[in-house]
Amino acid sequence: MNSAAATAMSQTSAATSSSTSSLGPPPTVAGGGGGGVNGNGNVSGGGMDELLPLVVQLTNPDQREGVLLELSKKRESFADLAPILWHTYGTVAALLQEIVSIYPLLSPPTLTAHASNRVCNALALLQCVASHAETRSLFLSAHIPLYLYPFLNTSAKSRPFEYLRLTSLGVIGALVKMDDADVINFLLQTEIIPLCLRIMETGSELSKTVATFIVQKILLDEIGLSYVCATPERFYAVSTVLNNMIALLQQHPSVRLLKHVVRCYLRLSDNVRARVALKQCLPMSLRDDTFGASLNNDVTVKKWLSQLLSVVGAPEQQTTQGGQFTPAEDGS
């Protein structure tokens, strides 16, 4: 597995592991050993003497590629990497240069594996900044996530593009994992949901999983639930994609993806009008035993599905109001 793949896999597991949704332990990032600036490979016991020269070298275009790889491999070994990256002169600008430099390769899609690997290493460092309590608000205030949106908006199926989308989703996933209302507000204002919905329908299983996790975390916030349920258009945009995912999961089962989809439905059912609409539009395959065998070993998802069916109830005959989403002015 190349560095982009290792980074993407690591970020996927990290972003989607929480008390309510875990994809298991993150894979070890390949190549964690090796020497740094001093060539001694010592990354334990603080490592500040190794870290600072590496960070400074990020501003040197001739050294940047190697330093990006080195820091991305060892990022979990440096507890203070995020604030040092943010507060070191020119470092964030250098990372943004890496990101914008591949914009011309997005359309027409000419992104190479080498270019994808390099920018994914830069994104791995930005994820550190997004995850750290000291730098997260600064990261948002500078609107750094917007630089990733062009990557999320791509549709090319090649591996370099898939790793790029997955790694970008990992940064957003790390943000929403923090359960910060400011993060949710920012993502809603910048229209992250349509980007996630697109990936939930067309991405790889890993990308779908992280994108669904992001939507789930937005819905779990009261502001996010109110936003999605404020208009019929928003509700049906989300529920239609979830329904399509359920149809695909019947053909290609994935318990970890199903877990996030069911949790999204369950959270939507907390809204009164969404609950009425779900009574009619909830897929029949969730009501019968279609996924019974898949869920035998996952008590959590079985519990969520049972709660969902209990709350939503059986489908009724269509009436004038039956199954129609008619939100109140407050979106409740």
The tens place of each residue's pLDDT in the chain, 332 residues long, gives 555 445 555 555 554 554 333 323 222 222 233 333 333 333 333 478 889 999 999 999 999 999 999 999 999 999 899 999 999 999 999 999 999 999 999 999 999 999 999 999 999 999 999 999 999 999 999 999 999 999 999 999 999 999 999 999 999 999 999 999 999 999 999 999 999 999 999 999 999 999 999 999 999 999 999 999 999 999 999 999 999 999 999 999 999 999 999 999 999 999 999 999 999 999 999 999 899 888 888 999 999 999 999 999 878 655 444 456 665 544 45
Q: Do domains 1-14+48-178 and 195-332 have the same CATH topology?
A: yes
Evaluate whether the domain defined by 195-332 bears CATH number 3.30.1370.30.
Answer: no
Query: Residue 52: its pLDDT value, please?
Result: 93
Is the backbone peptide bond immediately before 104 cis, with ω within 30 degrees of 0? no
Dihedral sign from CA coordinates of 36, 40, 44, 46: negative
3-state SS of the chain is CCHHHHHHHHHHHHHHCCCCCCCCCCCCCCCCCCCCCCCCCCCCCCCHHHHHHHHHHCCCHHHHHHHHHHHHHHHHHCCCHHHHHHHCCCHHHHHHHHHHCCHHHCCCCCCCHHHHHHHHHHHHHHHHHHHCCCCHHHHHHCCHHHHHHHHHCCCCCCHHHHHHHHHHHHHHHHHHCCCCHHHHHHHHHCCHHHHHHHHHHHCCHHHHHHHHHHHHHHHHCHHHHHHHCCCHHHHHHHHHHHHHHHHHHHHCCCHHHHHHHHHHHHHHCCCHHHHHHHHHHCCHHHHCCCCCCCCCCCHHHHHHHHHHHHHHCCCCCCCCCCCCCCCCCCCC
Residue 274 to residue 326: CA distance in whole angstroms? 9
Query: Global pTM?
Result: 0.85
What lies within 8 Å, CB to CB, of 60 at 6+ separation is none
Query: Residue 6: its pLDDT value, please?
Result: 54
Residue 63 to residue 292: CA distance in whole angstroms? 54
Evaluate whether the domain defined by 1-14+48-178 bears CATH number 2.60.40.420.
Answer: no
Residue 101 to residue 119: CA distance in whole angstroms? 9
Residue 8 to residue 123: CA distance in whole angstroms? 10
Residue 325 to residue 232: CA distance in whole angstroms? 6
Domain ranges of the chain: 1-14+48-178, 195-332
Residue 4 to residue 69: CA distance in whole angstroms? 10
Query: Residue 3: its pLDDT value, please?
Result: 53
Residue 124 to residue 25: CA distance in whole angstroms? 18
